Amino acid sequence: MPHELTKPASLTVAVLLSVGRHPVTGRARRADQDARGLELALSLSAARIELVHAGPFDDACEASMRGYLGMSSGYTETGADSVTLVEQPSQADVLPALSHALSESLAPQLVIAGERTEQGEGSGMLPYQLSESLGWPIVGGIVAVEAVDEGVATLLQALPRGQRRRLSVRLPAIITVNATATSPRQSAFGPARRGTLAVVEQPAVHDEAQDEWHVEPARKRPKRLKIVKSTSARERFKAAAAKSDGGGGQVLTDVTPDEGAAAIHKLLKEEGVLR
Amino acid sequence: MTLPRRDPRQERIVRNRRHPEHDRLMDDQGAGAAMVTWTGPSGVRRCDPHRCGFIGPNGIKRIDRGGSQQPMGNAAPSAGRQQPTAQRRHIEIESPAFLVTVVPDMPGGRLSSHDRDLLGLARQLADADAQSPGAVLAIVMGAHKETQWGDAGVDRLMECGDSALEGYAPEARLGALEAVERELAPRFWLLPDAATGGADLGRRLAARLGERPVTGLWSLESAPETAQGWRCTTRGGAGSLDIQRPLSRVILALEECAEPVSETHHAASVLTLSHPLLPLLSRIEDQGRVPVDPASIALAEAEFILSAGNGVKDWEGFHHAARVLGATEGASRVAVDDGFMARDRQVGATGTWVTARVYVAVGISGAIQHLQGIQRCDKVVAINKDPDCDMIKRADLAVIGDAGEILSALVARVEQEREEQRDAA
Ligand SMILES: Cc1cc2nc3c(=O)[nH]c(=O)nc-3n(C[C@H](O)[C@H](O)[C@H](O)COP(=O)(O)OP(=O)(O)OC[C@H]3O[C@@H](n4cnc5c(N)ncnc54)[C@H](O)[C@@H]3O)c2cc1C
């Protein structure tokens, strides 16, 4: 989607990037939602883009950051050819460092993040905590930024069941990207090598709560059993064998088509599906 | 004084079923009714096989030993339906030791199955200690249509019908929850970890309260050694990890985290805040829904489906109806096989399992393969010529008649109403 930005120079967008995990092989990769967030940022014409990651600087980190750079480092004029890497030990609470980097050095008007990370706790709390500590509004589940005009962004939000809602939010703001946003472009190898990683040091805060957790690969969740509470064998047999007979819906026989249509119309309106 | 007299002849006739006067005598005496069932010497219930039971569908006499069937004669086939549902135990908690607050999502204005699971979880937390039970408080924001609060396990109900809370108003809703926190200080906050709203609101609440929430909770067990007395298992890492950790105050739980309440009925007495909510200057403004082409919505997540079967003859009319109603189109297998609808529109066992809130089945007989696909639909409307078909049994509203005529009448109604609205505006 092309976007008309009235004040292009004034918009700075920070995209928060995390280290993804391939669901099958478990290898580090660009995280899907963050890549969608970067795609969203790249679709904002003439915005300045800051890529930010906080975490340990290791092979996995480099591999995934280069995954993002392969999408964006052709856009040198936007500043998207370099990742600001706020270095933090693993198991650190990155919130203070990230919040400091955003408010002090990068000063974006719009922060784009994914909804959940693909590794670790993946609670999806980071954008909300950032919003709380920076005092900026946050909106979740965004699929598109339609316009940015005089410090107000018009956003398109994904609702369940394929619906969309339009919102406007006062900048500076934080948005999280929904999994149904435009899928990210391919990551190209050459640009990925040419992009740069700029490491920044920040004091680290150890996340103590995690020490007492016990983490293991996800088990399959037990399937819910249909519990039949009954007193007699006959009822248990009936529950096991009987076809569900719905139990008394309203049946209109011998009505004219118009009366039937009226009844259906009433139900559709009550359920609020007619718009 | 009268002596009890036996009539040996009568006794003989009563014993002899084949006697020509047997039936008359039994009816006269009224002894028959008492004799159909009795309690035997060892306390077992006995019944006279000649005087109870009913004739089954294939002409064979059946005896129902469950006792729900009436003696011979008035054996209505629908007797099972009229059975009173088991009485739920009524529970009233006068002075709760603590509060467990649930903020249900209520998509469509009613408690969803996810909300009910969450209330079941809340009951586990509240009822753990029988000496000092807690109460479950449900907070509803905006208008709703739910009436069965007590059966869902709600002790206290707080309805915030403020117009500022309608639509997407996360900041105002957070303000309301904060007011509850200040006034009632509940021990736990439970929200559904679902895209219908709870995931967003719960995280906002946790960030505002400065609590680290447990997210994606799916199992809970008591652990007296921890601070809250509970341990839980949550999903992390995009569904790839299970994390066992102590419970915290703010809980975002997944679907099927607990069994919904089914045995008890609770008071659901109304609770209000002593201070009215302060109006809040919101930085987020809801500009309303954006029209989405219903045909572009995946069948599995469509909210409103108009589905066609073999009974549809006028396909142009059907497509027109779907456009006017703004419904996503579905089809039965026959309609697809006959080439009237695309394969990706097929609903059922070999097609898509749909989750629509309203499913309108037009000319679909309701084969089991089709009914499987609509198990999770809330309201089913059937339009069919045949009043005995299985779809009618499943439907919440069934209209018997010709599909084409009813659909065109419906379209005419909707168009007429839109016309009137346009004129009024
Ligand atoms: C292995 C297997 C898998 C299958 N999987 C699926 C599946 O995934 N999905 C699926 O749908 N089917 C499936 N089927 C097929 C299924 O068994 C039924 O054959 C099919 O669902 C019937 O479709 P229908 O109800 O449209 O047609 P019919 O059974 O022919 O029913 C037509 C209905 O329309 C009514 N009618 C006729 N004319 C009118 C009129 N003018 N106005 C109003 N009503 C009218 C009739 O009374 C009748 O009830 C499967 C079958 C098999 C064997």
Query: Per residue, what are the HEC states of chain A?
Result: CCCCCCCHHHCEEEEECCEEECCCCCCEEECHHHHHHHHHHHHCCCCEEEEEEEECCCHHHHHHHHHHHHHHCCCHHHCCCEEEEEECCCCECCHHHHHHHHHHHHCCCEEEEECCCCCCCCCCCHHHHHHHHHCCCEEEEEEEEEEEECCEEEEEEECHHHCEEEEEEECCEEEEECCCCCCCCCCCHHHHHHCEEEEEECCCCECCHHHHCEEEECCCCCCCCCCCCCCCHHHHHHHHHCCCCCCCCEEECCCCHHHHHHHHHHHHHHHCCCC
Please tell me which of the candidates A120, A264, A268 has its beta carbon nearest to residue B237. A120
Q: Is A226 on the interface with B (CB under 8 A)?
A: no
Q: Which of B252, B128, B99 has the alpha carbon at shortest distance from B187?
A: B99
Q: Does residue B146 have a pLDDT over 80?
A: yes
Beta bridge partners of B164: none
Compute CA B211 distance to the chain's CA centroid, rounded to the nearest angstrom.
Answer: 33
CATH class of the A12-212 domain in this structure: alpha beta
pLDDT top residue among A230 and B291: B291
> What confidence score (pLDDT) does residue A83 get?
92
- pLDDT per residue as tens digits for the range A119-147: 888 899 999 999 999 999 999 999 999 99
Contacts of residue B302 in chain A, CB cutoff 8 Å?
A: 161-162
CA A182 to chain centroid, in Å, comes to 12
Provide CB contacts within 8 A for A66, sequence distance 6+: A187, A192, A193, A195
Q: How far apart are CA B366 and CA B347, in angstroms?
A: 11
Supply the pLDDT for residue B225: 86
Return the SS3 of B411: helix
**Mean of pLDDT values over A238-243:** 67
Residue whose Cα lies nearest atom 29 of ligand 1: it is B365
Cα A167 to Cα A115, A154, B220: the distances in Å are 18, 6, 37
Flag whether pLDDT at B287 surpasses 60. Answer: yes
pLDDT class of B143 with cuts at 50, 70, 90: confident
User: Do A261 and B259 count as a contact with CB atoms less than 8 A apart?
Assistant: no
Q: What is the pLDDT of residue B166?
A: 84
What confidence score (pLDDT) does residue A71 get? 93
pLDDT tens, position by position, A7-48: 445 789 999 999 999 988 989 999 999 999 999 999 988 789
Average pLDDT of span B365-377: 90
Nearest CB neighbour to A217, from listed B240, B245, B387: B240
Six-digit token pair at B103? 């903020």
- Beta carbons of A132 and B208 less than 8 Å apart: yes
Q: Give the C-alpha separation, B329 to B67, whole Å.
A: 47
Question: Is the model's pLDDT at A229 over the cut of 80?
Answer: no
Q: Rounded to an integer, what distance in angstroms lies between the CA atom of residue B115 and that of residue B186?
A: 18
**CA-to-CA dists, residue A243 to A237, B102, B293, B358, B390, angstroms:** 12, 35, 36, 21, 10
CB-defined site of ligand 1, < 6 Å: B 309-311, 313, 332-335, 346-351, 363-365, 367, 369-370, 373, 383-386, 389, 402-403
Taking CA–CA distances from A164, the nearest residue in chain B reads B290
Burial of B127 (0-12, 13-18, 19+ CB in 10 A): middle
| Chain A touched by B227 (CB under 8 Å) | no
Enumerate domains of chain B plus CATH numbers: 8-62 (no CATH), 91-270 (3.40.50.620), 294-424 (3.40.50.1220)
Per domain, the residue ranges of chain A are 12-212, 221-275
Neighbours of B349 (CB within 10 A): 15
How many angstroms from the chain centroid is the CA of residue B251?
24
| Closest CA in chain B for residue A207 | B212
Asked if B86 is an interface residue toward chain A (Cβ–Cβ < 8 A), one would say: yes
Contact by Cβ (8 Å): A138, B171: no
Contacts with A, B 114-143, CB within 8 Å? none
pLDDT for position A225? 77
Instruction: Please indicate whether, in this complex, the C-beta atoms of A252 and B400 are within 8 angstroms of each other.
Output: yes
This prediction has a pTM of: 0.76
Distance from CA of B394 to the nearest CA of A (A): 5
* Distance, CA of A188 to chain centre: 23
Cα–Cα distance list, A75 to A41, A45, A72, A84, B182 (Å): 11, 11, 6, 16, 49
Q: Which residues of A touch B413 (CB under 8 A)?
A: 258, 261-262, 265
Average per-residue pLDDT in chain B? 86
Euclidean distance between CA atoms B295 and B304, whole angstroms: 11
Question: What is the rounded end-to-end Cα distance, in angstroms, of chain A?
Answer: 27
Write down the pLDDT at residue B30: 61
Average pLDDT over residues B269-297: 85
Q: Whole-angstrom Cα distance, residue B12 to residue B266?
A: 58
Residue B379 forms contact with A (CB below 8 Å): yes
Cα–Cα distances in Å, from A241 out to A11, A225, A237, B93?
Answer: 64, 15, 6, 39
List pLDDT tens digits, range B74-114: 433 343 333 444 578 888 888 889 999 999 998 878 898 89
pLDDT in the model for residue A86: 93
Separation of B314 CA from ligand 1 center, angstroms?
16
pLDDT tens digit sequence for A56-108: 999 999 999 999 999 998 888 888 889 999 999 988 899 999 999 998 888 89
The 8 Å CB, 24+ separation contacts for A154-157 are A154/B287, A156/B290, A157/B168
Name every chain B residue with its beta carbon within 8 A of the beta carbon of A169. 283-285
**Nearest in space to B138 (alpha carbons), one of B89, B210, B87, B192:** B192
What residues of chain B lie within 8 A of the CB of A247, using their CB?
Answer: 81
ipTM summary value: 0.86
- pLDDT reading at B70 higher than 70: no
From B332, B340, B345, B388, give the residue whose CB has the most ligand 1 atoms within 8 Å, as the site to mutate.
Answer: B332
Interface mutation vs chain A, best among B110, B121, B241, most A CBs within 10 Å: B241
Contact yes or no for B100/B187 (Cβ under 8 A): yes
Q: Can you say whether the dihedral through the CA atoms of B150, B152, B157, B160 is positive or negative? A: negative
Residues B44-59 have a mean pLDDT of 78
Q: At what angle do helices B315-325 and B403-424 cross, to 10 degrees?
A: 30
pLDDT of residue A247: 56
Q: For residue A109, which residues of chain B lie inside 8 Å, CB to CB? A: none
pLDDT tens-digit readout, B1-12: 678 888 899 889
CB atoms A260 and B380 under 8 Å: no
Percent of chain A having pLDDT more than 90? 55
Quick one: average pLDDT of A235-249?
Answer: 65
pLDDT score at B84:
42
Bridge partners for B102 per DSSP: B138, B190
Cβ–Cβ contact B209 with A under 8 A:
no
Query: Which of B209, B358, B370, B378 is the best mutation test for A, with the most CBs of A within 10 A?
Result: B358
